[in-house]
Structure 1
């Protein structure tokens, strides 16, 4: 600015100060003030107040509400920019006179006279200081601000709006971008750089002009030593610190959950979540690592909660928050998928609770037809009579469908809804297929259900907002929930994982579209989903192979040791099969009372060890006794089902040895070995 501009400003200031006081008062009082409220970006915070994700303001600038600031920085700022900040009324007349005299003597600007209040006025109007009209406007606004705001309030506006290079504004955005920390504790070198940057934020940007940034910082340190704010030794030591040469990324953890929080309350500037930032970061890294080497488009979701309090501690919606083949922008903790076998524990718990079965009850794993529905085991083989415990641990399909037929699928849907789930049915009709995953649920739903099992049958709403606790609801008895957990804790863990640390279940949906693992220990519950967001199959994907190791590793990232699973409630019946009450020793299913028992089936043709010529229509077979309908198997594979007559022909047998077996409706069997020439 030319010297006569400074003289004009000084004359105006002197006029205001020495004469025309009433007119000056009216002039200042009539000053239109810009919006005093500084627009700042929305912040999503974790359970300890640490930032999870920060959003820019509408124009793309990083600007945050100032929090606690290191007093050493404000001391430096005032000492360097405006030594009489606390005593002047917005305009420092002494500084103006000095600057004007120097400008006249030297023929140009030697030192500035702009106060912090005047700088705030310029920042609020986003105006220029290069013309006398702009300087006059800032003087008037500065005087008005001093009348209406306290010094601390004016300083707070400065700390919110000062430019620090690029699209960074305000002290908090600056310390996060340049130092990766909050401004509450700063080194002398850091504080000096932050004092120097707003004077020329682009030419002193450390990432683009590190030498200029360091030179400006060191001049601030020299001034602080001269004014006594720092000792000479401290200032010289601070000069040895390097300036940052790159911006640090702003926090961007839990992006899906943060977006959901913002969508639910768009006007809120702070969202306090139950998420643990450190755990969230570890599980996001785990998810990204888990998809390496998997086919394109495969993603992973992880949800972990404290089942005692209902607080969600980590929510990973995808393997990476980006587009592309993996569709990382889709939150797979909320997407509807088929749960595969992971609903089976709830079915068994309901059977225990209703007195239909006990963990040591014998149940038939044999071919069965329920109207038009004829479920099969995953491997196509049947085990005959097994205990309920073995049926659940081996994830057999026929036993839970038998139980579901006795309980009624509508009752399972009711338990799911009372647990806090939101299942969706194809055609809005619950059939027996729901037992094997014929229903749409989300990972959040399934973790909600397993949390109820972990809590002894008492469902509690899982929540991710602090203060959003809900009332609990009992959906199952304590003994039934414990019995299921005890069975699941006996599953073999993944390699190198501790045994009986988790009660867990894996699942794989039809066509290998979804791989699941869900489980709990004494304090926490978690779930893992792996698949493609678009629902296309992932050949060879199994929950036990892919998802279970991630489940155990998620718990190990949470804490050094698993919390022990609970002891059985006192009402739990822990006995062997032979000690069970007679009705519980063998699960008969609906209609069993009307079946006439003819004894075990006997395969009377062909005789065991026979050598026969192969026949075109098939091998003739004949059974005696047993309860129809019969299922005929060849070499472990069902060939004929629902046969009510005692004679049949088994087609498609090749030459050589074959094992022929027949299983009746009660699960009893007979078998022979023959040779076809």
Structure 2
């Protein structure tokens, strides 16, 4: 019977011993840490229980290990959790003094005590610590036990763990601590209250120096190191932990609620410099009523985030100006920033060449009336120039040609996660800021454009890439790339010319010491200012505005965001070259020099490089063969002139509405010669002799109010085949006047629907139905972006 009882007892003891340690020793919450690519601390969040308790360390520095073992547990490497020599000494001392004067706790026993939240010191508790320390040593290695102790020991106040203590008291990582600092932290858990500034300074200094003397006596510290160490002063008040990327840490912490160590791809040096730039610029913008900004820097080769400024740095997050919001991740109206992606997509689809002319005249699409930012029309411009000058009307016309649905699919393929509505809902305004995107999505898209433009034949990427902010993230998005290197290169090349007309009508360009392909954007109502630039090495994205969405006069991509863009590039290493034209993915075609379409055999041509896969096949619509008489002054046909006396010419001819604006910017544009008088009645002469440029059929016109509250006027414009022709104008069948040479008519029609009729001397007539809007709310029909 006794044997059975003994066996049962032994089994129970064995079972208790085996299961005496929980699977996880510590169930406490931890701080969130943000580290740069080299492991340097960027930002930190305090743990949920109000303690600065960093996640468990990967290793314990040698200096601290040496100092700790010497102070707390000299035979740590020899015993198995319990130091019986120390236990015997402590028992003798305590019995002889009739009180507790020394302890015998090993580091293993202290880890057990820490894991049990420091229960009252009783004999039974000591026995539990002894037994569990043995069990601890059987499960963990000596290095692992040291890490447990260093990660959970108290270091005064709300500081727990060596790493948190190193940053709070010395503002650097444990690996960078001196001998004096390591010794101080080794003695501190024994009496954490000693660290309190202004109290116990001499006691703490004495304990530290005694430990340093022991290290020197045992030849663990050289004489020089010892003398330098004891000369070091104690730390003053605790340091504030770094706040170099607080918005990124907030974003990551929201995705991962449990405290952990985020090892990012950021570079602490670039991040610090960019914070300084953002703070200085933010203060200037705040004087103009603009409170928020964001800057993102991506490495185009690896898609790693180099710097991340989610909002104005060093701001009081308790204010109501949105400084705590990570604006890199917030969707905002895109302004003109999607235009390069449409340009690239249409090149890939073979719908345009960079030199293809696109109409830039007043246009109306079922009530949607886009306007250029400068309110000027150019008649026709090349697609490349339309992109460089960010002209809205030509880009709307291009999107109409491409189709909103296929372009929207392309944007989603590129990773624009916030474009969730239907193509019909967005409509053509999508290209002018009718949709929303985050700075993250836009910057990654431009980085993909640059990455594809820089590919060579041996290193082609099959998939679109996604940004990497954590070292564990993958760049490959898994989405098949649908844009060739050729189309990407042509787009980047066009972005080198980006500029916009200034208020005085001249071109204004940013000069920079480095080559940058860039694009600006300003959303409707001047609520968002964008600037995104790229080189073969880096993409920089900038957003400026107010988080609450209110607009500010003068807030534009060029004036507000572009200076930050170029100042950011000045912080980065210089370009290691430029994009090389991917001839291996291009074909050469002959196009008409003045309109960018394939030759019909009559125009003067030039050679152009196009994507090999584009199969561009549009024949020029603007070149026609005309017949002139022997003098070359009059157009004729075989009905009024013998073929032997006719000469044939190729003539560049734009539609009348486009030609009217085009010739204002191209002095060399020649209108068609007039018909000879005896050929006027021939059938071949019955071509369009009159065109109404404004208003277009079905257009909605907004009449603004002047400063005095009165309604303003609108100006109708017509183009006859002969500039000197006399035109008769009628509004709703009522005669309103005539024009000659300058065919513009200023009128102030009432609100509602109207019909304009214009008749020339030969009886040619053109009619246009339109509607007048006079309320301020109707201004929303006119989308303006740049």
Same-fold status (TM-score > 0.5)? yes
SS of structure 2 residue aligned to 1:78: helix
Q: Which residue pairs with 1:481 in the alignment?
A: 488
The structure-2 alpha-carbon separation of the partners of 1:560 and 1:214, relative to structure 1 and needing over 3 Å to count, comes to: farther
Q: Report the Cα distance in structure 2 between the residues aligned to 1:535 and 1:292, rounded to whole angstroms.
A: 19
1:342 alignment partner, one of 310, 315, 337: 337
SS of structure 1 residue aligned to 2:394: helix
2:56 alignment partner, one of 61, 65, 68: 65
1:253 Cα deviation after fit: 4.3
2:360 alignment partner, one of 344, 359, 365: 365
Q: Which residue pairs with 2:715 in the alignment?
A: 640
The structure-2 alpha-carbon separation of the partners of 1:510 and 1:324, relative to structure 1 and needing over 3 Å to count, comes to: same
SS of structure 2 residue aligned to 1:404: helix
Q: Deviations over 1:319-367 (max 9, x none)?
A: 2472423312322222222111222222333343444433333444322
1:444 Cα deviation after fit: 1.9
Please state if 1:468 is matched with 2:448. no
Q: Report the Cα distance in structure 1 between the residues aligned to 2:95 and 2:31, rounded to whole angstroms.
A: 45
Is the 8 Å Cα contact of residues 425 and 440 (structure 1) preserved in structure 2? no
Is the 8 Å Cα contact of residues 486 and 503 (structure 1) preserved in structure 2? yes
Is the 8 Å Cα contact of residues 205 and 213 (structure 1) preserved in structure 2? no
Is the 8 Å Cα contact of residues 598 and 627 (structure 1) preserved in structure 2? no
Q: Which residue pairs with 1:571 in the alignment?
A: 587
Q: Report the Cα distance in structure 1 between the residues aligned to 2:695 and 2:469, rounded to whole angstroms.
A: 53
Is the 8 Å Cα contact of residues 460 and 473 (structure 1) preserved in structure 2? no
Please state if 1:631 is matched with 2:694. yes
Is the 8 Å Cα contact of residues 452 and 489 (structure 2) preserved in structure 1? yes
Is the 8 Å Cα contact of residues 329 and 439 (structure 2) preserved in structure 1? yes
Please state if 1:38 is matched with 2:44. no
1:282 Cα deviation after fit: 3.2
Residues 334-483 of structure 1: matches in 2 within 5 Å?
Answer: 334-422=329-417, 423-425=419-421, 429-456=425-452, 459-465=464-470, 466-470=472-476, 471=478, 473-483=480-490
Q: Report the Cα distance in structure 2 between the residues aligned to 1:598 and 1:43, rounded to whole angstroms.
A: 63
1:662 Cα deviation after fit: 5.2
Is the 8 Å Cα contact of residues 421 and 448 (structure 1) preserved in structure 2? no
Query: How many positions carry a matched residue from both structures?
Result: 606
Q: Report the Cα distance in structure 1 between the residues aligned to 2:537 and 2:129, rounded to whole angstroms.
A: 60
1:419 Cα deviation after fit: 1.5
The structure-2 alpha-carbon separation of the partners of 1:142 and 1:236, relative to structure 1 and needing over 3 Å to count, comes to: same
1:644 Cα deviation after fit: 9.9
1:244 alignment partner, one of 221, 228, 235: 235
Q: Which residue pairs with 1:501 in the alignment?
A: 515
Larger mean CA deviation between 250-259 and 193-202 belongs to: 250-259
Please state if 1:525 is matched with 2:539. yes
Q: Deviations over 1:280-302 (max 9, x none)?
A: 34333333332113245621112
Q: Deviations over 1:233-273 (max 9, x none)?
A: 43222111222213233454444433443444546844443
Structure 1 gaps, min length 5: 1-19, 589-594, 603-623, 651-657, 664-677
Q: Report the Cα distance in structure 2 between the residues aligned to 1:213 and 1:370, rounded to whole angstroms.
A: 79
Is the 8 Å Cα contact of residues 76 and 195 (structure 1) preserved in structure 2? yes
Q: Report the Cα distance in structure 2 between the residues aligned to 1:26 and 1:372, rounded to whole angstroms.
A: 85
1:510 Cα deviation after fit: 0.8
1:274 Cα deviation after fit: 3.2
The structure-2 alpha-carbon separation of the partners of 1:236 and 1:128, relative to structure 1 and needing over 3 Å to count, comes to: farther
Q: Deviations over 1:65-96 (max 9, x none)?
A: 12232323222222222223333444434334
Q: Which residue pairs with 1:168 in the alignment?
A: 159
Please state if 1:556 is matched with 2:570. yes
Residues 105-184 of structure 1: matches in 2 within 5 Å?
Answer: 110-128=101-119, 131-146=122-137, 149-184=140-175
The structure-2 alpha-carbon separation of the partners of 1:90 and 1:356, relative to structure 1 and needing over 3 Å to count, comes to: closer
SS of structure 2 residue aligned to 1:228: coil
The structure-2 alpha-carbon separation of the partners of 1:355 and 1:55, relative to structure 1 and needing over 3 Å to count, comes to: same
Q: Which residue pairs with 1:310 in the alignment?
A: 303
The structure-2 alpha-carbon separation of the partners of 1:599 and 1:173, relative to structure 1 and needing over 3 Å to count, comes to: closer
Q: Deviations over 1:370-422 (max 9, x none)?
A: 33222222122223343333332222222112222222222221221122213
SS of structure 1 residue aligned to 2:532: strand
Is the 8 Å Cα contact of residues 537 and 575 (structure 2) preserved in structure 1? no
Larger mean CA deviation between 179-188 and 262-271 belongs to: 262-271
The structure-2 alpha-carbon separation of the partners of 1:659 and 1:122, relative to structure 1 and needing over 3 Å to count, comes to: farther
Cα RMSD (Å):
4.0
Larger mean CA deviation between 554-563 and 534-543 belongs to: 554-563
The structure-2 alpha-carbon separation of the partners of 1:409 and 1:572, relative to structure 1 and needing over 3 Å to count, comes to: farther
The structure-2 alpha-carbon separation of the partners of 1:497 and 1:563, relative to structure 1 and needing over 3 Å to count, comes to: farther
